[in-house]
């Protein structure tokens, strides 16, 4: 199951349970700068998750994210 998100380049299907958006998906697809997959850097992935988790309440308060995501 997936959800559709839009940006300036068009629409993309994002996995329904993903806590990222279309910009992150496009970044993954288009910016293979080092050739090292993100999965090879688990501490970076964890830190990225903490940033997203920390920004969630602020986004929900501002009405950017549904409060459902925070449960």
d(CA 58, CA 61) in angstroms, rounded, equals 5
Give me the pLDDT at residue 65, please. Answer: 66
pTM score, two decimals? Answer: 0.45
Structure tokens at 40: 């090879």
Residue 2 CB-half CA count within 13 A: 10
Residue 69 has pLDDT above 60, yes or no: no
**pLDDT tens figures, 19-64:** 888 988 888 887 777 777 777 888 988 898 888 888 877 877 887 7
Asked whether residue 70 carries a pLDDT value surpassing 80, the answer given is no
């Amino acid at each position: 199951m997936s959800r559709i998100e839009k940006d300036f380049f068009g629409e993309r299907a994002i996995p329904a349970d993903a806590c990222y958006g279309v910009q992150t998906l496009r970044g993954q697809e288009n910016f293979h700068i080092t050739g090292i997959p993100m999965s090879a850097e688990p501490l970076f992935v964890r830190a990225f998750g903490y940033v997203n988790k920390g920004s969630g309440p602020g986004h929900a308060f501002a009405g950017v994210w549904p409060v459902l995501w925070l449960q």
